[in-house]
Chains A and B, each alone.
Chain A
Amino acid sequence: MTTGGWITMILSVGFVTGLLGWCIYRVLRGPKDPGKLAHVEPIEESQADDR
């Protein structure tokens, strides 16, 4: 592999990995209130057809 190949690979893989890492960090650092994110959804199987 040439030096150009190493640079291309490291920049490309590094960029997408860094972007995902940064996003996950921001998501995890965000407001933690899972209850607030959920709507009311029928939980029982018997209610499935009412959706």
Chain B
Amino acid sequence: MSKPQEAWSSRLGVILAVAGSAVGLGNFLRFPGLAAQYGGGAFMIAYFVSLLVIGIPICWIEWTLGRHGGRYGFHSTSGIFHVLIRKPWAKYLGVIGFVVPVTIYMYYVYVEAWCLGYAMNALTGRLSQEGTNYQEFFGKFTGASSDGVALHFGLNDVGTFLVIVFVMNFYFIYRGISKGIETVCKFAMPALIIIAIIILGRVMTLGTPDPAKPDQSVINGLGFLWNPGDIAQGLRNPQLWLAASGQIFFSLSVGFGVIITYASYLRKKDDIVLSGLTASAANEFCEVGLGGLITVPAAFLFLGAAGTATAVASGSFGLGFNVLPEVFARMPGGHLFASIFFVLLFLAAITSSLSMLQPGIAFLEEGLGIKRKASVALLGLVTAIGTLFVWYFSKDLKALDTIDFWVGTLMLFVQATILIIIFGWVIGVEKGWKIAHEGAEMRIPEFFKFIIKYVTPAFLLIIFVMFTLQSVFGWNLSFANAQFNPTGYVRDLVGDAPNKVARLSMALIVIMTVFAFVLVNIAGKVWARQEIKEREDN
């Protein structure tokens, strides 16, 4: 691979880019909801154990494999597996590393457009008008009320914002690693943290907004989230462990194929141990230190305990796009704070969506031997078709939800398991350890060797199996009286009354996966020809 190499222009740039990829809507909406739902103390213990056992180790593994593959000129998961394992089948293990980020991008960019659209609607005062029905607004704006209803391009419609964010993403990705992704993250990440601190300051200084309801105070709002219930009983709840480890897993973007690609643009002597830990720490700070103090306490101040419990149970979208606009509308200066809050979500989303495109671009360039312009055009076409599909089939967000479950959740587990097995068992922990510490500015504690080889794969496998049994086969999580009742995700596809959109969404996933297999097959031939040529030249 002798073409000009792209790279990060600074260490801060790569750290902010990886942190930006990890920090997303889940940090501000999903994490506080789960922490409140499972009662502070026990949840946080399971959360930090998961961080130590799966989050940070898999991050280090991805950084290590990525930088090592990058030395040979490969930047995609398939290419990196091909050069590391040197077996004909190895490149196919990286198929998920292409399918996952590209397919997630198709619906993630749509949610990103909601954030920008909500920010504009809040700024113009539409979100704070008296008598606004926020569920109705959400249904019409996102198309959740009916298929095709969101296909409009007015100033307040999601279509306009979707076109803007779609073009923005591809513009920055076309500019490349340093001038595109790094530039955006260097601006967006500090801005995101500053905005979060401003909103945090607003929420913490609200005191008791309604003197007639003295219970609805900031302190009680924090207590709603952080008060520990029965810790011993909580830790015996498998559902809590599943929620905590799942949050760590998805929050740190492990298994996405993003960190491995980003790290491949580093040099052999660039530190990855401290950089990887710093990026993970930045994500945790945004999630626990900022996300954990803003959304749920804010909702509690205006909705009380019962209202907040309902809001939390409505999920991330319910909390973020139905409940919080109403909360901000009741707050002094609310339309301004609502506006910057949705800008915050937009910044968190765009740094993530950009990272989803780079693995696809890298693969198309090195696998098909095409140049930047052609790879951007091809990926733009593929993702535009997928986004149009999600945008049109928007009723109950069925297409989005189906793709998110099968690709954005299940496939991620598979990819992370492949990564950890390659590092711990194919390359070997001792050799992997040596590679990880080339240029390192700190040592990974020795006990992580044992964790990476045995604990992380076992923990990941248990979580994956339990998650599949529960979310696919509808296991009631009881060992004594186990019952199985296939969930809606299965019944939508093969039940008595299948859902047409869910089936079409699955067809899209299958087409994407087959498409990726074909591309990897072509790439394998291209790489084989290159290797023969290099041998002849030498």
Contact = CB atoms under 8 A, between A and B. Distances in A.
A and B assemble together? yes
B17 to A, nearest CB: 13
A49 B365 CA distance: 11
Helix, strand, loop or mixed for chain B's interface? Answer: helix
Interface stretch (B278-286, B393-401, B498-506): B278-286
B228 A37 contact: no
B222 interface: yes
Interface string A5-27: 11011011101110110011011
B72 interface: no
Given A8-B41, A12-B44, A48-B174, A27 B223 contact: no
A38 B14 CA distance: 11
Contacts of A6: 226
Interface string B287-310: 111001100000000000000000
Given A20-B281, A49-B372, A50-B3, A38 B10 contact: yes
Interface string A25-51: 011001100100111111000011111
A17 to B, nearest CB: 5
B318 interface: no
A50 B371 contact: yes
Interface in B36-68: 40-41, 44, 48
Interface in B1-32: 3-12, 15
Contacts of A1: 219-220, 222-223, 226-227
Contact of A49 (B7, B223, B371): B371
A19 B446 CA distance: 19
B228 A5 contact: yes
Nearest to B12: A27
B8 A26 contact: no
A8 B289 contact: no
A11 B392 CA distance: 45
B9 A23 contact: no
Interface string B350-390: 00000000000000010000011100000000000000000
Nearest to A42: B4
A34 B10 contact: yes
A12 B4 CA distance: 45
A30 B8 contact: no
B15 to A, nearest CB: 7
Contact of A15 (B48, B278, B282, B365): B48
B178 A41 contact: yes
Interface stretch (B263-271, B460-468, B516-524): B263-271
Contact of B8 (A23, A37, A40): A37
A51 B10 CA distance: 19
B274 interface: yes
B292 A39 contact: no
Given A23-B274, A39-B265, A17 B222 contact: no
Of A2, A16, A27, A50, chain B has the most CB atoms within 10 Å of the CB of A16
A12 B187 CA distance: 27
Nearest to A14: B289
Contact of A37 (B9, B41, B274): B9
A8 B176 CA distance: 42
A51 B371 CA distance: 7
Contacts of A8: 40-41, 44, 226-228
A6 B177 CA distance: 43
Contacts of A31: 441
Given A4-B227, A30-B441, A48 B270 contact: no
A38 B285 CA distance: 28
A2 B223 contact: yes
Interface string B168-201: 0000001111110000000000000000000000
Q: Across chains A and B, which 10 residue pairs bring their CB atoms closest together, nearest first?
A: A39-B7, A1-B223, A5-B227, A23-B278, A9-B226, A20-B281, A16-B284, A5-B226, A20-B285, A19-B281
Given A5-B228, A8-B40, 11 more contacts: A5-B227, A12-B226, A12-B288, A19-B277, A23-B277, A30-B441, A37-B267, A39-B267, A41-B6, A41-B179, A51-B6
Interface of B: 3-12, 15, 40-41, 44, 48, 174-179, 219-220, 222-223, 225-228, 265, 267, 270-271, 274-275, 277-278, 281-282, 284-285, 287-289, 292-293, 365, 371-373, 441-442
